[in-house]
């Protein structure tokens, strides 16, 4: 899905302060919504961000009726410039190191206020509208519409995009859907939740891609058995 590598390959710039913005510690829940009554995807419904200083963890949460034995999280340590995907697929637990390009997003992304910028209240926060433009490898420009609030400082690399001048409260997913903040839970978090669990096997991105390719081939073979 666009904007998720996980991707949640997904969710720019160090935590920074704009005006009265303050750093947030706690949990942020984003819900996936659709336009014009279009049915939501069955495999994903929420993103949960846990934030503490230079650390954050993004988790994709599936719908309650989803039976897919898959879970993804993204651990980001801004101080050490490390980003790790935690993937649990059919009880195979993998810790996948991402490339350094993950931290180069700001070089291909730019934020600007939307023409005739609007205001809206979302999850109790006063928000302003803006536009994020990102340049792809083939030099095409992708435009994404967001709502942001200066009540809190931006979360770096959130939604794998350039930061707004404050916390991204809502962001366009595609032409039919968007993510919107639904719950804010300020709280003190243990540093342990930002660490790679001991039972996760370290893996490179190449090894992970090979695992997914092999898994896909296995599923095809099972779904299409040859007749004797």
Mean pLDDT split into 10-residue runs, the chain, 228 residues:
41 36 89 71 76 92 58 89 90 88 69 77 92 78 87 84 81 84 95 94 92 70 40
**Distance of alpha carbon 199 from alpha carbon 92, whole angstroms:** 10
The number of distinct structural domains making up the chain is: 1
| Res 202: pLDDT | 96
Q: Is residue 15 part of a domain?
A: no
**Distance of alpha carbon 157 from alpha carbon 46, whole angstroms:** 18
| Res 15: pLDDT | 32
pLDDT digits 0-9 by tens, 47-96: 999 999 999 999 987 655 544 557 889 999 988 888 999 999 888 999 99
> DSSP for the chain?
-TT-BTB-----------TT-B---EEEEEEEEESTTPPPPSS--EEEEEEETTEEEEEEE--TT----EEEEEEEETTTTEEEEEEEETTEEEEEEPPGGGGGGGGTEEEEEPTT--EEEETTEEEEEEEEEEE-TT--EEEEEEEEETTBPPPTTGGGS---SSEEEEEEEETTEEEEEEEEEE----GGGGSPPTTSEEE-HHHHHHHHHHHHHHHHHHHSPPP-
| Res 13: pLDDT | 30
| Res 35: pLDDT | 73
Q: Is residue 63 part of a domain?
A: yes
Q: Is residue 199 part of a domain?
A: yes
CA 80, 104, 8, 132 dihedral sign is positive
Q: Is residue 89 part of a domain?
A: yes
| Res 21: pLDDT | 64
Q: Is residue 125 part of a domain?
A: no
Q: Decide: pTM greater than 0.75.
A: yes
Q: Is residue 143 part of a domain?
A: no
Q: Is residue 45 part of a domain?
A: yes
Q: Is residue 133 part of a domain?
A: no
Range of the domain at 55: 26-109+152-223
């Amino acid at each position: 899905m666009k904007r998720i590598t996980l991707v949640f390959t997904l969710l720019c710039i160090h935590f920074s302060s704009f005006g009265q913005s303050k750093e947030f510690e706690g949990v942020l829940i984003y819900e996936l919504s659709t336009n014009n009554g279009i049915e939501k995807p069955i495999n994903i419904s929420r993103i949960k961000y846990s934030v503490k200083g230079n650390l954050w963890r993004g988790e994709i949460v599936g719908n309650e009726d989803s039976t897919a034995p898959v879970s993804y999280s993204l651990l980001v340590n801004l101080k050490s410039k490390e980003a790790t995907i935690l993937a649990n697929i059919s009880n195979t637990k993998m810790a996948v190191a991402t490339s350094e390009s993950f931290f180069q997003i700001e070089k291909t992304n730019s934020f600007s206020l939307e023409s005739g910028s609007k205001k809206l209240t979302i999850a109790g926060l006063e928000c302003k509208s803006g536009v994020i433009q990102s340049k792809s490898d083939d030099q095409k420009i992708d435009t994404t519409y967001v709502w942001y609030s200066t009540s809190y400082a931006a979360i770096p690399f959130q939604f794998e995009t350039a930061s707004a001048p404050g916390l991204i409260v809502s962001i366009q997913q595609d032409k039919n859907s968007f993510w919107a903040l639904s719950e804010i839970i300020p709280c003190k978090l243990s540093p342990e939740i930002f660490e790679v669990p001991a039972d996760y096997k370290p893996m490179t991105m190449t090894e992970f891609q090979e695992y997914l390719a092999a898994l896909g081939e296995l599923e095809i073979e099972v779904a299409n058995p040859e007749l004797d």
